[in-house]
């Protein structure tokens, strides 16, 4: 089978292969995506010789100004050019020690290089050599597996997954991203070897989870992770959400499958990774806050606050960023129930103001999460909640325009209070700041400097403070 490589880049690689008399092949994901007719900007080239030397020669031939990044221990190098990331590697074979996924690497043949690949769909190669340019080398029937939408390992799956347990997550990630099925023996090997995942670092695990979360239907991946027993090991908080408990004839919804539905829902509206993480974690504290109350049934009071406080622990363990991205997820988890509560109750302007102040610039993202959180199959309830939520969103827009509260800070600062009364940091400063803030949010005074200043003086007088 021949495949036409239309990009001029491949002509340059082919010419270089001929000049250096060094056989070279396009391998892996680029070939898979080419057959799937999916876009890809990452190209892997396997060289029957020195991959780093080939990369440097290629960089010189195209006169790129960027330095070649290379990794001598693995015989690999990266060249970035014209929208392409081209990685070069010497053909190699690998062997593993039980306690590590880092292989011992030796020079190998193309066949040995294909043998070490994780899945048949990634073990494809296309020749760049003059004598057989464009010939597809497919020793494991990877093309048939692509056509049949199957994930399987080239060799014994138990060895494949025991050698590098990260491949178990990659199998599930590809199944989720491509909507493929994991072949039965391959899946059974994942189940048998799931405990091997414990040797994988948090960074590598979260990298695969992020890719699953960003897939079109991420629930596919998370269902597979759960059913294979991997989720219990890498994300026990999420696995703990599974199941329905019955008491006195009353049961609650399965919060695990509800969460997956919310994640799928939000994925139709946004590609924002951290908003999708917010959907995944929005009910994460429900197993810890679940209570049965006589006359009321199952409750999860306080799950928003507790869930928000769990985010940092989860992010730390998974080596996710502990910056504004984490704070965004914490905020979304903390506030996710607020608009629904407002939609269910008579809405006061003060409640709307508090929501605007707490959500800040993330108010629109919060409403996206709230829409995704509607998973009832009762059409009347769904329509009613959706309409109520729209009404709350309109009230937010009206109050925000009138009171200018987004990312709001009270017009009187602590420094001004201290200057006005000639005092230092003290509880009186906190009392004045708090009363001004509450008065504005309750609508007792406008969000206006002059009104806030008058109130400051009045409160100070009551506290026995004198203006200087």
Task: Report pLDDT for 386.
Answer: 86
Which is more confident, 184 or 2? 184
The encoded tokens of residue 206 equal 């979260």
Task: Report pLDDT for 81.
Answer: 84
Compute φ and ψ for 346, nearest 5 degrees: -70, 130
Confidence band for 352, pLDDT divided at 50, 70 and 90: confident
The encoded tokens of residue 382 equal 């769904």
Angle at 437 between CA 432 and CA 442, to 5 degrees: 125
Instruction: Average the pLDDT over 237-242 and give the result.
Output: 96
What is the residue-averaged pLDDT of the chain? 89
Confidence band for 342, pLDDT divided at 50, 70 and 90: confident
Task: Report pLDDT for 75.
Answer: 77
Instruction: Average the pLDDT over 55-63 and give the result.
Output: 88
pLDDT at 252 over 90: no
pLDDT tens-digit series, residues 126-164 = 999 988 999 999 999 999 999 999 999 999 999 999 989
Q: How many CA atoms lie within 13 A of 6 on its CB side?
A: 1
From the list 314, 293, 322, 136, the residue with the least C-alpha distance to 237 is 314
- Among 250-264, 316-330, 395-409, the range of highest mean pLDDT: 316-330
Whole-angstrom Cα distance, residue 330 to residue 322?
11
Whole-angstrom Cα distance, residue 56 to residue 88?
10
Q: Is 75 left (phi over 0), alpha (psi -120 to 50) or beta?
A: left
Q: What is the DSSP letter of 248?
A: T
Which is more confident, 246 or 303? 303
CB distance 328 to 335 below 8 Å: no
Angle at 339 between CA 333 and CA 340, to 5 degrees: 95
pLDDT tens-digit series, residues 378-399 = 888 888 888 888 888 888 888 7
Instruction: Average the pLDDT over 16-41 and give the result.
Output: 93
Task: Report pLDDT for 227.
Answer: 97
| Cα-to-chain-centroid distance, residue 212 | 7
pLDDT at 318 over 60: yes
Give whole-number Cα distances, 437 to 7, 73, 193, 423, 467, in Å.
62, 60, 57, 20, 20
Task: Report pLDDT for 248.
Answer: 64
Task: Report pLDDT for 281.
Answer: 98
pLDDT tens-digit series, residues 93-119 = 766 566 665 665 667 889 988 988 999
Could you tell me the domains of the chain? Answer: 8-148 (3.30.460.10), 150-234 (1.10.110.30), 337-408 (no CATH), 414-462 (no CATH)
Q: How many CA atoms lie within 13 A of 135 on its CB side?
A: 10
Task: Report pLDDT for 296.
Answer: 78
CB distance 362 to 328 below 8 Å: yes
Instruction: Average the pLDDT over 325-347 and give the result.
Output: 87
| Cα-to-chain-centroid distance, residue 241 | 19
């Amino acid at each position: 089978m021949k495949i036409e490589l239309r990009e001029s880049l491949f002509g340059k690689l082919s010419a270089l292969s001929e000049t250096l008399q060094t056989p070279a092949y396009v391998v892996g994901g680029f070939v898979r995506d080419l057959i799937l007719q999916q876009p890809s900007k990452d190209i892997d080239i396997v060289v029957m010789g020195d991959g780093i030397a080939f990369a440097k020669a290629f960089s010189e031939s195209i006169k790129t100004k960027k330095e070649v990044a290379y990794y001598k221990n693995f015989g690999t190098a990266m060249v970035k050019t014209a929208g392409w990331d081209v990685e070069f590697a010497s053909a190699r074979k690998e062997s593993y020690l039980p306690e590590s996924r880092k292989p011992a690497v030796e020079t190998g043949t193309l066949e040995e290089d294909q043998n070490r690949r994780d899945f048949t769909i990634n073990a494809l190669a296309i020749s760049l050599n003059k004598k057989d340019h464009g010939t597809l080398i497919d020793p494991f029937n990877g093309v048939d597996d692509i056509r049949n939408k199957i994930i399987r390992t080239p060799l014994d799956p138990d060895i494949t997954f025991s050698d590098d347990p990260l491949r178990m997550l990659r199998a599930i990630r590809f199944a989720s991203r491509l909507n493929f099925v994991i072949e039965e023996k391959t899946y059974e090997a994942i189940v048998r070897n799931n405990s091997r995942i414990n040797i994988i670092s948090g960074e590598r695990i979260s990298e695969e989870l992020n890719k699953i979360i960003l897939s079109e239907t991420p629930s596919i991946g998370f269902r597979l992770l759960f059913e294979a027993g991997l989720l219990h090991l890498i994300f026990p908080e999420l696995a703990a959400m599974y199941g329905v408990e019955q008491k006195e004839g009353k049961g609650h919804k399965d919060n695990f499958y509800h969460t997956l539905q919310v994640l799928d829902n939000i994925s139709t509206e946004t590609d924002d990774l951290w908003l999708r993480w917010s959907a995944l974690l929005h009910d994460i504290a429900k197993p810890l806050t679940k209570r049965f109350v006589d006359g009321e049934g199952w409750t999860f009071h306080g799950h928003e606050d507790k869930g928000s406080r769990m985010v940092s622990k989860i992010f730390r363990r998974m080596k996710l960023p502990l910056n504004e991205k984490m704070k965004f997820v914490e905020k979304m988890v903390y506030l996710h129930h607020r608009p629904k509560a407002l939609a269910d109750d008579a809405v006061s302007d003060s409640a709307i103001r508090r929501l605007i102040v707490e959500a800040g610039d993330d108010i629109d993202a919060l409403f996206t999460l709230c829409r995704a959180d509607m998973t009832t199959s009762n059409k009347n309830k769904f329509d009613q909640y959706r309409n109520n939520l729209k009404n709350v969103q309109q009230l937010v827009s009206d109050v925000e325009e009138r009171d200018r509260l987004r990312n709001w800070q009270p017009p009187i600062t602590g420094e001004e209070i201290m200057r006005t009364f000639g005092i230092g940091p003290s509880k009186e400063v906190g009392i004045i700041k708090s009363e001004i803030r509450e008065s504005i949010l309750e609508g007792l005074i406008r969000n206006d400097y002059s009104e806030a200043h008058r109130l400051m003086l009045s409160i100070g007088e009551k506290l026995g403070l004198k203006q200087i």
